[in-house]
């Protein structure tokens, strides 16, 4: 049974890190020290979807200003992809943003994932740039 948890408890943070470590570092060969950054502080809230006790999908956010939420680090374990879990994480984060009074969401997306975000209403808002040696683009959406 799938369950969503939103929080900054250490166990939920560990679950989010487990998914990100599995996807970004082990599967995608990103550098460990670049995947886990200064945004991963103790106060940061993570959305994690659990299949029973197994964390399977995650995302985080930060408030850039009173109107803008930045969604990031969306990851789903390989064997759980294709079940719309990433979409569910993003929609949950967008809902958090709206509750906090935000009217815009932005995402730094890898170019390879930009079409996924466009399917759920995001539009390109920048030229291509590189993060951690990966081609990326800024996407935005009105909430």
What pLDDT shows up at residue 125? Answer: 95
Write down all domains in the chain, each with its CATH number in brackets.
Answer: 2-102 (3.40.630.30)
What is the per-residue pLDDT across 70-100, written as a single tens digit (0 to 9) for each?
A: 999 999 999 999 999 999 999 999 999 999 9
Q: What pLDDT, on the 0 to 100 scale, is given for residue 18?
A: 98
Q: What is the pTM of this model?
A: 0.92
Q: What is the pLDDT of residue 51?
A: 98
Task: Name residues of the chain where pLDDT drops below 70.
Answer: none
pLDDT of residue 37: 84
What is the structure's pLDDT at 64?
92
CA–CA gap between residue 68 and residue 75 (Å, rounded): 21
């Amino acid at each position: 049974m799938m369950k969503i948890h939103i929080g900054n408890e250490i166990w939920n943070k560990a679950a989010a890190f487990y998914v990100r470590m599995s996807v970004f570092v082990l599967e995608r060969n990103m550098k460990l020290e670049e995947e886990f950054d200064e945004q991963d502080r103790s106060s940061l809230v993570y959305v994690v979807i659990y299949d029973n006790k197994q964390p399977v999908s995650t995302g985080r956010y930060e408030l850039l200003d009173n109107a803008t939420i930045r969604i990031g680090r969306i990851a789903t374990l390989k064997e759980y992809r294709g079940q719309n879990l990433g979409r569910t994480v993003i929609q949950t984060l967008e809902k958090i943003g709206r509750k906090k009074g935000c009217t815009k969401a932005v995402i730094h997306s890898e170019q390879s994932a930009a079409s996924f975000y466009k399917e759920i209403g995001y539009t390109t808002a920048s030229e291509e740039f590189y993060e951690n040696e990966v081609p990326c683009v800024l996407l935005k959406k009105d909430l």
